[in-house]
Amino acid sequence: MSHADLATIRHYHRLSKHLPERYAPGPGQLDWKNQPNPFRRFAGSPLLPLPMARHGGLRYRQLYTPATAPQALTLEALGALLELGLGLSAWKEIDGSRWALRNNPSSGNLHPTEGYVVLLQALSPDMPAGVYHYAPHEHTLEQRAIFGAAAIAELQALLPGIPALLGLSSVHWREAWKYGERAFRYCQHDVGHATAALAFAARTVDWPLHLLYGADDNAIAALLGLDRNADFADAEHEAPDLLLALGGDPDDYPERLGISHLQAVLADSRWQGQANQLSPQHVAWHALQQVAEASQQMGGWPTVRLPAAVAAEAASTDDNPDAVMTIRLRRSAVSMDGSSRLTQSQFRELLQRLMPADTPPWQALPLPPAVSLLLFVHHVQDLAPGLYLLARGKHHAERLQQQLRTPHLGWQAVPGYNVPLFCLSHNTDWRDAAQLVSCRQEIAADGALAVAMLADFDATLSDIGPGAYRSLFWECGLLGQILYLQAEAAGLSGTGIGCFYDDLLHRIIGLDLEEEQWQSLYHFTIGGREEDRRLRSSAAYAHLQR
């Protein structure tokens, strides 16, 4: 990685920190007339409606087992995958304003993440091999490009046994409109959440989803048509994030997929459609634009062999809800009751799910695990309240033990768990601290537990390269999506917390503020949701009347 890129990333990371006395630069107040449209559309692209997912198949816990990959990809499977991964979950309404929620959560519900399908073979006479954009409001694919015979042959040779790729991109402006410079971080969290949501959704239709690790950012942009400037003339550009392969054997995926490998494909593709403009005017956030440039990944991603899953506790079938319903019912809590607790077996299962494993969702991001979890335990059955640490990566425990240096914290392995859990502070009330570091948000104190995600920042940037600045947030997003679904399955709710005082947390746990070897990149809370009874809800797709 060049010194200039590293300097840009470090500068951005510092500038985008919230401190109690100074928040990261942002717009101050919201410019409602420029609120970005959450729905991207491509005018002139033919539309191909998709079927909805059917519930009553898989149980929730089966989501964490490997899929087998059926013989052929069907329209039903693709429809279910996109709905449960990126589709709408409900509409909410209050005082005349109405907004959609989605199965993938998003910071501020702004939804910067766009989804694409690259079909390597025809799914039906109406749906030839080509590139499609997913329109969640209509649950429809928009046909962006059709591949000719030469393009199909080339892609099938490059990607044997893969019927389709899923692509993700981000409209940074959607988050920047509200959050200014810090928005780049939230876009990356959202990519992580969407990746996990897609991996679980794919599992409901028995398709494995793996990172196409060789693809670099220019190749992703070219394949998805994001670099076709004329198609985005007045419209906000989308930054390439990642490509995920449905099926195939990851050992056969190309080590390197650069733009030069796609020349024959691009030469034999016919494009259509014009992106819509999402806001009439834009504000440029310069550090965000610079870090987006500096954190591109140009050599693909180094992957690891994931370990077999830690054996999860046997759970009774009546405690194992329907997978599709659990995904659709996931909601963020805006307020928590301060009393609900996790049972001991729910807590154990949660810890096990958070460990890296060769199952969904980790197969979709098989990078070296770089994030460990600091747990503010408030109400967990048979566990003293206090501060705990779940060590997820190689040597994390030893290294963190040396780095978390304050006189008031200890380091004691907690016996009886089949994951590396350590107690840092025993029988102590961390509710006020959890709330304070989470920008004083009460949900961090009123849950059963709160989490701060500690990333092995310095070492991962030097091992993986500049793209690690994005993949660290993606890993946090995957962890967040597991926390959301585990909470839902336990009859509780989760909430992602992107607003936190970075260095206050670091100071409290004794991390050196100058070195930035470990950085907290995301917070989370799980607890008993208090409903806002003023809000009215309606069904996700009542407006389609198909």
Determine which residue in the list 23, 186, 388, 518 makes contact with ligand FMN, applying CB under 6 A.
Answer: 186
Nearer to ligand FMN (CB atom), residue 210 or residue 470: 470
CA dist 29 and 492 (Å) reads 33
172 contacts ligand FMN (rule: CB under 6 A) = no
Closest approach of ligand FMN to the CB of residue 365, in Å: 16
| Selected range binding ligand FMN among 189-197, 238-246, 412-420, 530-538, rule: CB under 6 A | 189-197
| Selected range binding ligand FMN among 26-34, 253-261, 327-335, 454-462, rule: CB under 6 A | 327-335
Determine which residue in the list 8, 45, 107, 269 makes contact with ligand FMN, applying CB under 6 A.
Answer: 107
CA nearest neighbour of 492 among 332, 280, 362: 332
Closest approach of ligand FMN to the CB of residue 540, in Å: 11
Determine which residue in the list 57, 66, 108, 338 makes contact with ligand FMN, applying CB under 6 A.
Answer: 108
CA nearest neighbour of 119 among 156, 82, 84, 94: 156
Q: What are phi and psi of 455, to 5 degrees?
A: -100, 140
- Which residues of 391-468 form beta strands (DSSP E)? 412-413, 421-426, 449-456
105 contacts ligand FMN (rule: CB under 6 A) = yes
Nearer to ligand FMN (CB atom), residue 69 or residue 334: 334
57 contacts ligand FMN (rule: CB under 6 A) = no
HSE-up of residue 35 (Cα within 13 Å, Cβ side): 11
Determine which residue in the list 292, 357, 437, 497 makes contact with ligand FMN, applying CB under 6 A.
Answer: 497
Sign of the torsion angle spanned by Cα atoms 18, 24, 28, 29? negative
Nearer to ligand FMN (CB atom), residue 8 or residue 107: 107
| Selected range binding ligand FMN among 105-113, 116-124, 273-281, 358-366, rule: CB under 6 A | 105-113
| Selected range binding ligand FMN among 49-57, 122-130, 318-326, 496-504, rule: CB under 6 A | 496-504
Q: Judge contact between 438 and 430, C-beta under 8 A.
A: no
Any bridge partners for residue 131, and if so which?
Answer: 118, 145
Q: Can you give the three-state secondary structure of 474-496, one letter per residue?
A: HHHHHHHHHHHHHHHHCCCEEEE
Residues in contact with 129: Cβ distance below 8 Å, sequence separation at least 6, in sequence order? 119, 120, 121, 122, 146, 147, 151, 152, 155
| Selected range binding ligand FMN among 126-134, 274-282, 419-427, 495-503, rule: CB under 6 A | 495-503
CA dist 22 and 7 (Å) reads 22
Q: How many residues bind ligand FMN (CB under 6 A)?
A: 19
Nearer to ligand FMN (CB atom), residue 248 or residue 498: 498
331 contacts ligand FMN (rule: CB under 6 A) = yes
**Binding to ligand FMN, residues 344-403 (CB under 6 A):** none
297 contacts ligand FMN (rule: CB under 6 A) = no
Segment (H or E) for 271: strand 269-271
Q: Can you give the three-state secondary structure of 31-94, one letter per residue?
A: CHHHCCCCCCCEECCCEEECCCCCCCCCEHHHHHCCCCCCCCCCHHHHHHHHHHHHCEEEEEEE
Nearer to ligand FMN (CB atom), residue 147 or residue 524: 524
**Binding to ligand FMN, residues 131-150 (CB under 6 A):** none
Determine which residue in the list 133, 144, 189, 379 makes contact with ligand FMN, applying CB under 6 A.
Answer: 189
CA dist 335 and 526 (Å) reads 11
Closest approach of ligand FMN to the CB of residue 498, in Å: 3
Determine which residue in the list 143, 326, 340, 495 makes contact with ligand FMN, applying CB under 6 A.
Answer: 495
| Rg, Å, the chain Cα set | 22
CA dist 273 and 271 (Å) reads 7
Q: Is 452 exposed, middle or buried (0-12, 13-18, 19+ CB in 10 A)?
A: buried
| Amino acid at the residue 161 | G
CA dist 523 and 196 (Å) reads 17
Closest approach of ligand FMN to the CB of residue 200, in Å: 15
CA dist 419 and 412 (Å) reads 14
Helix axes 172-179, 183-204, angle to 10 degrees: 130
Determine which residue in the list 38, 208, 498, 528 makes contact with ligand FMN, applying CB under 6 A.
Answer: 498
CA nearest neighbour of 245 among 223, 267, 230, 275: 223
| Selected range binding ligand FMN among 18-26, 39-47, 102-110, 266-274, rule: CB under 6 A | 102-110
| Selected range binding ligand FMN among 9-17, 139-147, 447-455, 494-502, rule: CB under 6 A | 494-502
106 contacts ligand FMN (rule: CB under 6 A) = yes
Closest approach of ligand FMN to the CB of residue 108, in Å: 6
Nearer to ligand FMN (CB atom), residue 328 or residue 396: 328
**Binding to ligand FMN, residues 435-454 (CB under 6 A):** 441
188 contacts ligand FMN (rule: CB under 6 A) = no
Sheet strand arrangement including 88-94:
97-102, 88-94, 536-538
CA dist 396 and 49 (Å) reads 47
35 contacts ligand FMN (rule: CB under 6 A) = no
Determine which residue in the list 52, 101, 239, 383 makes contact with ligand FMN, applying CB under 6 A.
Answer: 101
| Selected range binding ligand FMN among 59-67, 98-106, 150-158, 163-171, rule: CB under 6 A | 98-106
Q: Which residues bind ligand FMN (CB under 6 A)?
A: 101, 105-109, 186, 189-190, 193, 331-332, 334, 441, 495-499
